[in-house]
C-alpha cells in the first residue's frame, strides 16, 4: 500500500473527531500495530514509536465544507460522516478508515474493500436510567430517549405505555438528558442542537449501544443490559469495519490484518447485512438481527440467525430464526482460503433466506422497509 512519503509501512487512518470515533479508531490502530510489530497510534504529525514495523497515524477527517464531488447515492446512500471518510480514502487523503459496521451501506463501493473485521464487542443495547431503574421498573409513562426507530419500536413492543422521545447527539450528550446522569457532562466533539441545550435531566432513561458505552469507559451508566428477547440489535451492531482502497499492497498491514480479522464476527455480520440487503431496508427501518457461530474443532460449525421487523408503534412483529451448517476449514493453507470463502457465501445465503421468510410473512406490510433518514444511534 502506497502511503505518505516513501515509507509504505507508515499509514494514515482517517477518523471522525467524535470521542467515540477517536477511541475505537485508536483501539483498532493499536491492535493492528501490535500485530504488525509497531508501536502505539499517534495523532497526525507526531512521531510514532514503532521501529521496523507498522506505524499508523490518526488523521481527523472533518465533515463540514468537505466539497463532496461524488453524489452520496453512489456511495451507497450512507450518512455524511461515513461518506466523507470514504471520500478521503478514495482521494488518497488517508490509507485506512474505521467504521461502525452497522452504519455502512450493504452495497459495495467501487475501489474500496473491507479488509478487516476485528472481534465484535457485545452487540446488545443498554438502558441507562435514573435511580438504577430497569425496563420493567420504569414508571408508567416514563420518558425514554432514542434516535433509533428500531429501538423505539422494540421499546413500545415491550412497554406500550412509555413515551419515546427522539434523541440526538454524542453519547455524553445523550446521557446528560437523564435525570441523575447529568454529571457525565456534555461532550464538545459534536454540537448540541439549540433546542436541546437546556434539556439536561429531562428524561427518565435513554437506550444506547452497550459497545459504545464500553469503548468509552461508561458502562457503569447502564442500569440494565437488555436481553436479546426484549431488544434485538441492529445488524452488525458492536462490530467495526476497517476499510481500505482495493488492490493496494502493504505486507506489514496484510500480516496485521490476518492476525486481527475475526472469522466468527465476519460470518455473523455477513449474514446480518445480507438480510438487510435482501429486505432492501433503509437505515430507518426497524429491523433487528443477531447471528452467532457455534461448534468448531470436533463439532460441526453452525451459524444461527435471528431477525425481527417491528411496526413503528410496537404493535406488530414478524420474526424468524434460521441456521446453516458451515464447511470445515482443512489445515492446509491451499484449502483454508477456499473454506473461508465458502463459509462467507453460506452466511450470505442464510441472511437472504431469513429475509425471504420475513417478506413472505408480511414484514413489508407492517412497516416501510425502505425508510431512509440519517441514523442517530
301 classed as catalytic: no
Residue 37: its pLDDT value, please?
67
283 classed as catalytic: yes
**35-64 pLDDT tens trace:** 876 655 555 444 344 445 789 999 999 864
> Topology of 10-118+239-261 in CATH?
D-Maltodextrin-Binding Protein; domain 2 (3.40.190)
151 classed as catalytic: yes
103 classed as catalytic: yes
140 classed as catalytic: no
Which of the residues in the chain have pLDDT under 70? 1-8, 37-52, 63-81, 182-200, 329-337, 372-377
Catalytic choice (9, 120, 151, 375): 151
Residue 191: its pLDDT value, please?
39
CA nearest neighbour of 176 among 111, 221, 114: 221
Catalytic choice (103, 189, 202, 361): 103
Q: 307 - beta bridge partners? A: 289, 320
pTM over 0.75: yes
Task: Work out the angle at residue 201's Cα, subtended by the Cα atoms of residues 197 and 205, and round it to the nearest 5 degrees.
Answer: 120
Where do the CATH 3.40.190.10 domains begin and end in the chain? 10-118+239-261, 125-225
Distance between CA atoms of 236 and 331, rounded to whole angstroms?
A: 29
Catalytic choice (168, 214, 255, 345): 168
Residue 283: its pLDDT value, please?
76
CA nearest neighbour of 209 among 193, 226, 196: 226
Catalytic choice (10, 19, 86, 102): 102
Residue 199: its pLDDT value, please?
60
Catalytic choice (120, 143, 159, 174): 174
Does domain 125-225 fall into CATH 3.40.710.10?
no
Catalytic choice (125, 283, 301, 320): 283
Where do the CATH 3.30.160.40 domains begin and end in the chain? 265-366
Say which residue the cell 453512489 belongs to: 74
**249-301 pLDDT tens trace:** 888 899 899 999 999 999 999 999 999 999 999 878 999 999 999 987 778 99
H helix or E strand, kind and range, residue 247:
none
**Looking at residue 178, what DSSP letter applies?**
B
Residue 30: its pLDDT value, please?
95
Classify 265-366 by CATH class: alpha beta
**137-164 pLDDT tens trace:** 999 999 999 999 999 999 999 999 999 9
Catalytic choice (120, 124, 150, 375): 150
C-alpha distance from residue 94 to each of 16, 87, 192, 309 (Å):
12, 9, 28, 37
DSSP characters over 226-280: PPTTT-PPPTTTT-EEEEEETT---HHHHHHHHHH--HHHHHHHHHHHHHHHHHT
Amino acid at each position: 500500500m502506497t502511503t505518505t512519503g516513501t515509507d509504505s509501512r507508515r499509514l494514515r487512518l482517517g477518523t471522525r473527531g467524535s470521542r467515540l470515533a477517536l477511541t475505537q479508531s485508536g483501539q483498532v490502530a493499536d491492535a493492528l500495530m501490535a500485530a504488525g510489530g509497531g508501536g502505539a497510534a499517534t495523532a497526525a504529525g507526531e512521531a510514532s514509536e514503532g521501529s521496523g514495523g507498522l506505524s499508523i497515524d490518526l488523521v481527523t477527517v472533518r465533515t463540514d465544507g468537505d466539497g463532496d464531488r461524488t453524489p452520496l447515492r453512489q456511495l451507497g446512500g450512507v450518512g455524511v460522516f461515513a461518506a466523507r471518510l470514504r471520500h478521503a480514502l478514495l482521494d488518497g487523503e488517508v490509507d485506512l478508515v474505521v467504521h461502525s459496521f452497522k452504519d455502512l451501506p450493504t452495497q459495495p463501493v467501487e475501489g474500496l474493500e473491507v479488509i478487516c473485521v476485528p472481534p465484535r464487542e457485545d452487540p446488545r443495547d443498554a438502558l441507562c436510567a435514573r435511580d438504577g431503574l430497569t425496563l420493567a421498573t420504569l414508571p408508567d409513562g416514563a420518558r425514554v430517549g432514542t434516535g433509533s426507530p428500531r429501538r423505539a419500536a422494540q421499546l413500545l413492543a415491550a412497554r406500550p405505555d412509555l413515551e419515546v422521545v427522539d434523541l440526538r447527539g454524542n453519547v455524553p450528550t445523550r446521557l446528560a438528558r437523564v435525570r441523575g446522569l447529568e454529571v457525565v457532562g456534555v461532550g464538545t466533539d459534536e454540537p448540541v442542537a439549540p433546542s436541546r441545550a437546556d434539556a439536561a435531566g429531562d428524561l427518565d432513561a435513554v437506550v444506547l449501544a452497550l459497545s459504545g458505552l464500553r469503548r468509552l469507559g461508561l458502562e457503569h451508566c447502564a442500569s440494565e443490559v437488555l436481553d436479546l428477547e426484549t431488544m434485538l440489535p441492529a445488524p452488525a451492531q458492536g462490530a467495526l469495519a476497517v476499510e481500505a482502497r482495493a488492490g493496494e499492497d502493504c505486507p506489514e498491514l496484510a500480516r496485521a490484518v490476518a492476525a486481527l480479522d475475526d472469522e466468527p464476527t465476519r460470518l455473523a455480520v455477513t449474514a446480518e447485512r445480507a438480510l438487510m440487503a435482501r429486505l432492501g431496508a433503509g437505515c430507518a427501518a426497524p429491523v433487528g438481527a443477531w447471528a452467532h457461530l457455534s461448534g468448531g474443532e470436533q463439532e460441526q460449525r453452525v451459524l444461527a440467525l435471528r431477525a425481527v421487523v417491528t411496526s413503528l408503534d410496537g404493535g406488530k412483529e414478524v420474526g424468524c430464526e434460521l441456521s446453516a451448517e458451515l464447511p470445515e476449514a482443512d489445515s492446509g493453507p491451499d484449502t483454508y482460503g477456499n473454506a473461508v470463502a465458502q463459509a462467507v457465501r453460506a452466511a450470505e445465503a442464510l441472511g437472504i433466506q431469513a429475509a425471504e421468510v420475513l417478506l413472505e410473512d408480511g414484514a413489508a406490510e407492517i412497516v416501510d422497509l425502505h425508510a431512509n433518514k440519517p441514523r442517530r444511534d
